[in-house]
Amino acid sequence: MLNKLIAIKDNENIIYVCFYKVLEFGTGGLRGVIGVSINRMNIYTIAKTTQGYFDYINRHFQRPSVAIVYDSKIKSDLFARVAVGVLVANRLEYIFIRN
């Protein structure tokens, strides 16, 4: 990841596009270009979003459960494993993962 940041260090346009906003979770889930930054899909944005989701369901449901599903999109399986890791670290008791 450091190499990718170094590669864009002199390109103000790419830096702006990558960092001008945080990648948003919408009705279709978390969608975006895979890459480095807060406005791209990567393991860090997946982990941060999953933590926020866990915090929400943990506050609003007595015994929350989560289903993690992934498909053939690039890195979908990796992102699913990252999400599961965050939920396991939070001791979520019921996690279902499916390809």
Average pLDDT for consecutive 10-residue bins of the chain (99 residues)?
78 81 76 87 94 95 91 92 95 80
Instruction: Quote the number of domains for the chain.
Output: 1
**Residues of the domain holding 55:** 2-98
pLDDT for residue 1? 66
C-alpha distances out from residue 59 to 7, 50, 52, 62, 98, Å: 41, 14, 11, 8, 25
Cβ proximity of 68 and 97 under 8 Å: yes
Q: Nearest to residue 36, comparing CAs of 13, 10, 14? A: 14
pLDDT for residue 14? 80
pLDDT for residue 98? 77
Return the H-helix or E-strand segment holding 97: strand 94-98
